[in-house]
Structure formats: C-alpha cells, structure tokens
Structure 1
Amino acid sequence: MPELDPGTSGVAKRADHLRIPVTQSTEEDSWLVTYLDVITLLLVMFVVMLALSGGPSEEPGEQISLAPPVVEPLATVPEPATGQTPASSESEAFADRARATLQAAGLGDDITVIPQQDGVRFRISNDILFGSGEAVLSAEGVRQLENLVPLLADSDYQVTVAGHTDSLPIQTPRFPSNWELSSARAGSVVRLFEAAGVARSRLQAAGYADTRPLYRNDTEQGRSRNRRVEIILEGAPSR
C-alpha cells in the first residue's frame, strides 16, 4: 500500500473540499499550544477547588445551634444608657450613697440597690422583713428599714412601696389571697416610714401578689426570691 501523502490526508481532503486553506504548523507556533494547555489546566484546577469548597456539612452532628440557653430569671433590669442624662447621673450618685450607707450598717448583702433612669429601687426579701404568711414587720425588718429612712428623708423622690408574693395560694381569715397579703405588707412598710418622719404626701403602697415574678415559681429558690418588698424612688413628690 503506498504511503499517504500528508497533503492527501483526511484533514487535507476536507479542507480542500471546503475550500479552506491549510497551513503547515511551524515551531514558531508551538508556544501557543503549550499556552493553551496551561490555561486549560488552570481552569480545571479552579473548578476542582471550587467543588471541594462546597457549603457546610449537612451532618446532624456538625450543625451549630443558635438557640440561646434557657436562664432562670423571668425579668431583668435594663442596663443604663451609655449617654447619661442629668437625671440618670443623679440616680447613680444617690445609688452609690445608698450602697455606702447600707454597707456601713452591715446590710450590703440584704438590700439590693438598683439605679434607674429617674430614680432608685431597693429590693428586700420578705423572708427578712416578715414571718411566713404574716404582715407584721419583724425586729430585723424594722432595723433594716430604719437604715433607709435618712436616705428617703434627704431626697425629693416619690416613694412607692410594692409588695410581692410567690404563687403559692394563701387563704386565712385575714388574708383570703395573696392580693391582701402583699398589700398589707406594703402598708406596714409605708406606716413605718411615715412614723419615722417621711412626708406622707410622698408615700404610696401597692400590692402585686404573684403577678410580677422575677424568677420561676416552680422551685423553692425561685419562690423565695419572688417574695419581696421593693421600695421605688422616682420622680418628684406630689405637691
């Protein structure tokens, strides 16, 4: 069989049929082939890298939970604003003075001082002020409250005494429910402040029963913290 002439190869015949001029490759054009090979290789590597960097794993063990942890307190006191107003600065100063007074009297751990936007809140456990199911102040409760009298007398705040109970029901001849118990306890504190010289026009009492818990009522610790008296100083006294 005679050897095929390159000029009569299939490519040449097709080129001749389609009237396409055939040019012979030279060494000067060989760099173009190498360049195209490199570009093709880079493209393939890019596709492989893109495939390997796929989205996050769908395995259950690798999923990240974004749900916040459950905490016991039901309510929190809002943090003071960064830019303090004159009222908030005055509240902070009063709260610092109150803490120093209570610390000197040895009550720093028994009475919580909470500065607010336009005043200060004192929080005291009912277990310190009253006996179980009672609205008569104990001797220790009287001592603690008397340490607050100079602070109240030396300010222009309106004073609200709020009584709070836990969710356990009470039913006695004097206290048919926690409404009466919480109101009577708030009234006892108000009467002590009035007898100590705080103007009665600045005083008011409120009983909230178990409607404003700070903690869950399904544990003894939570119920103990919910039984409390709060002395709220805010605004200016009514004239």
Structure 2
Amino acid sequence: MSELDRGSSGVARRADYLQIPLTHSTEEDSWLVTYLDVITLLLVMFVVMLALSGGAAATPDETTVAAVDAAPLAGGGDEQSSPAMDDDAFTERARAALQDAGLSDDITVISHQGGVRFRISNDILYGSGEAVLSREGIRQLENLVPLLASSDYRITVAGHTDSLPIRTDRFPSNWELSSARAGSVVRLFESAGIARERLQATGYADARPLFRNDTEQGRSRNRRVEIILESQPPE
C-alpha cells in the first residue's frame, strides 16, 4: 500500500470517529489531514486535563451550601446554649446555697426538663391541718428568695396533702388546705420582692402522691410543697 493510500485510510478512520463526512482527497484538500490531527490532539489534551483536575469544579451554589453545612461544626457548642445546661447549672448553684444554709436535708432540689423543682415537707412548713407558715418554714423559704429572684423562671407553688380527710370551717377538704398552703408561700415570695407576674399557686390535695398513703411514712412524704421553676416561653 502506498503512502497516499495509508494516509487516506487513516483520514477515513478519524473522519468516521469524529463523524465528519469524508470526500475523496485531492492534493488541493490535503490540509484536511493536518486539521484532523490537530482536532484529535486537542480532544486528547482536554480529556487529560479534565482527568488531572479531578472532575468538574463545584458550582458557586454548591460551595455556598457546603459552607453553610459546615458552619455549626466550626462553631462548636458555644452558640447553642442549651436550656438543659442552664437548668443543671442553676440546680447545682441551688444545692450549694442550701448546703451553706444547712438546709440540704430539708429541701430536695430536682432538675427536670425545662426547669428546676424544690420539694419541701409540709411537716416543716406548717402545723397539722394549718396553712400558716411556721417560723422554721419562713426561714427555709427566705433562703430560697435570692435564688428565685436571680432567675427568670416562672414560679408555680404546688400544695400536696396526704389522703386523710379534713373537714373544718376553713378547710372543708384537702383541696382547700393544699391551695391555702400554696397561697401562703406565694404571698411570702411576693412580699420578699419577687414579681407577682412570675408567681402562681395551685393545690392538688392528695391527687398526686409520691408514695403509698397506707403507711404513716408514706403519708408524711406525700404532705409537701413543691416550688416548680419553669422556663418562660418567649413573647
């Protein structure tokens, strides 16, 4: 096969690959051989460059999304102040204050979801069947005032009794007794300077016992006042 035939055969193969219609070559259009070689070389160069670059570059939108997704990780946990973490910190501060005041055995501090709870036995706060705070009860509650005043919690005072019925002129049932006891605590807090819009009182009688009411020990532990602190909803 002559050189011309071999060249023509190569041109035909490249023309078929690039889908370029081929006409019979003459000396006048022999430039087509060089043109097809250049096109082939450029195609190979672009393929190699694309392979070395590791693929198509990310679009501006993709880059922005990636940066937004990575932002919380870069910021760590400092920007997300968890309410639960604040509640735990307040609980520890309350326990330390009660320990310093010698009241850690009389007042139980409980951290719960969305707030903190103080639990105090009625036997310390009141006489039997009474809703007037005892001197010791006043002292214990006054030790809580600085803690409550330094917080932004909504404060609910809940009164609880045992299941033994009461029927007096002032307290026809445990509902009235538990409500009156909660009210006396709220009045003390208000007189100590805690904003009244943060306060509310409620009585549960014996409807929410912690222990069985068929033993004296159980009834004693069910007679209690709970000061429930809850995070205020945003306005």
Say how many residue pairs are matched.
Answer: 156
Q: Which residue of 2 aligns with 1:96?
A: 92
Alpha-carbon RMSD across the aligned residues, in angstroms, is: 1.5
Q: 1:218 aligns with which of 214, 217, 220?
A: 214
Report the alpha carbon displacement of residue 236 of structure 1 after superposing the two structures with TM: 1.3
Question: Taking structure 1 as reference, are residues 105 and 210 closer, same or farther at Cα in structure 2, changes over 3 Å only?
Answer: same
Mind listing any 5+ residue stretches in structure 1 that lack a counterpart? 1-83
What TM-score do the two structures reach when normalised by structure 1?
Answer: 0.64
1:155-205: per-residue Cα shift (whole Å, max 9, x none)? Answer: 000000000000000000000000000000000000000000000000000
Structure number with higher helix proportion: 2
Mind listing any 5+ residue stretches in structure 2 that lack a counterpart? 1-79
- Structure 1 segments of 4 or more deviating over 4 A? none
1:78-103: per-residue Cα shift (whole Å, max 9, x none)? Answer: xxxxxx97111110000000000000
1:2-27: per-residue Cα shift (whole Å, max 9, x none)? Answer: xxxxxxxxxxxxxxxxxxxxxxxxxx
Q: Which residue of 2 aligns with 1:107?
A: 103
Question: Taking structure 1 as reference, are residues 116 and 85 closer, same or farther at Cα in structure 2, changes over 3 Å only?
Answer: farther
Identical amino acids, percent of aligned pairs: 78
What TM-score do the two structures reach when normalised by structure 2?
Answer: 0.65
Report the alpha carbon displacement of residue 210 of structure 1 after superposing the two structures with TM: 0.2
Map 1:19-30 → 2, pairs under 5 A? none
Give the counterpart letter for 2:203 in structure 1: G
Matched, 1:184 2:180: yes
The secondary structure found in structure 2 opposite 1:204 is strand
Report the alpha carbon displacement of residue 235 of structure 1 after superposing the two structures with TM: 1.7
Q: 2:225 aligns with which of 187, 208, 229?
A: 229
1:200, 1:161 → 2: CA distance? 12
Report the alpha carbon displacement of residue 237 of structure 1 after superposing the two structures with TM: 7.1
Q: Which residue of 1 aligns with 2:165?
A: 169
Q: Which residue of 2 aligns with 1:36?
A: none
1:118, 1:126 → 2: CA distance? 25
